[in-house]
Amino acid sequence: METFDPAELPELLKLYYRRLFPYAQYYRWLNYGGVIKNYFQHREFSFTLKDDIYIRYQSFNNQSDLEKEMQKMNPYKIDIGAVYSHRPNQHNTVKLGAFQAQEKELVFDIDMTDYDDVRRCCSSADICSKCWTLMTMAIRIIDRALKEDFGFKHRLWVYSGRRGVHCWVCDESVRKLSSAVRSGIVEYLSLVKGGQDVKKKVHLSEKIHPFVRKSINIINKYFEEYALVNQDILGNKESCDKILALAPENILCQDHFLFFQNHHSSLQRWEHLKKVAKSLNNIKSDKYGPWLEWEIMLQYCFPRLDINVSKGINHLLKSPFSVHPKTGRISVPIDLQKVDQFDPFTVPTISSICHELDAISTTEEEKGENKAESIIKHRTRDYKKTSLAPYVKVFEQFLENLDKSRKGELLRKSDLQKDF
């Protein structure tokens, strides 16, 4: 992967927005087949420009207007907001209180920095292959619940471009949900609770909800390799003490503690901890296991959601196909069929795809390709010539499913109206 030089970003963005950004698919998504008049026109876009100049309440008449403005402004970052009661770019002309957010996709933002208390390999904005498994587990756990527990069909997962993932739930009924309902959904999906000062952030009772059991089943597939081998969560006394602090008082007597310390790997120590919890469970009236084991697994591996991003209809979220200005990586859709294979370090950077395009353009010029033909091809196929192509294909498949669902719903309504 080519190294990214932030100093090149202004010129690279010009080329990216002129020849590589998938405008047609992007407009097709946010227009939703023209379900409601002015749906796209009432959508808020926010642009962050060079030197952190931030412009909110942008809105556009159509795909052409959006293209022209993006190519003129060359935003460093694009955020998508709600569909409002009036055009966002006219919000200052609307009577106070009349300008209201009406609809928006249900969105989730999962950021690796929220796991800093439980990952040992990196901190802050840094990520590596050892901790990226947290995002893999998060996608699997949240997506399963959205699909099976709530019945949501149209879920678009996107890499943020640096250290996290976003999810856009786009079903028509979901876009109309109130803030209260959104809060309820994200509350259902949240198990890790408490700030930095709270040691024990997961509390289970004897009656384990099916959502928790299914989440544990997913974590189980990754836990040994991720937590015990790669993160080595019981690798030294300090990390052992952190985990023992999650256990009920006196669950490990001094003998048990010494024996625990005498094991020489996280794998051995974890097995011993499970045995101790199980033996105490057999002799105590209080039930310790497997709840203790599960509470630790959940605290170290369960998704950590930003509740404010999900519950607020007017909350902005970074757009798919944005460029991250620090890494240069594109915010690409993630193929749910290949979540385990997704590697953030192989995601194309704006440098790499622009250089790929330059090399192709040079070859075409050398072949003496007709200039008029070349311009037409550039408009429709340039991204297909670069490593961005497979990610746009994932996006197109998502749009196809949206279209099929919409047509099916129209047919169903049509049949109902004829049913006398």
DSSP state letter for 340: G
Helices marked H in 32-161: 63-73, 129-144
Tokens in use for 343?
A: 């590697």
The DSSP bridge partners found for residue 109 are 166
DSSP state letter for 173: H
94 by DSSP, 3-state: which? coil
Query: Is omega for the bond preceding 320 within 30 degrees of 0, making it cis?
Result: no
Phi, psi of 83 (to 5 degrees): -90, 120
Closest CA to 249 of 199, 299, 300: 199
Active site residue 149: no
CB contact at 8 A, 329 and 349: yes
CB contact at 8 A, 169 and 155: yes
Active site residue 44: yes
Active site residue 172: no
Return all residues near 270 (Cβ < 8 A) that are at least 6 apart: 228, 234
- Catalytic annotation, pick one of 79, 105, 109, 356: 109
- Catalytic annotation, pick one of 103, 111, 143, 295: 111
First-last CA distance in the chain:
63
Distance CA 303, CA 118 (A): 12
80 by DSSP, 3-state: which? strand
Tokens in use for 261?
A: 């310390």
CB contact at 8 A, 124 and 116: yes
- Catalytic annotation, pick one of 44, 79, 295, 382: 44
Rounded to the nearest 10°, the torsion over CA 244, 246, 249, 253 is -20
Sheet holding 164-169: strands in order across?
106-111, 164-169, 155-159
Which residues form the catalytic set?
Answer: 44, 109, 111
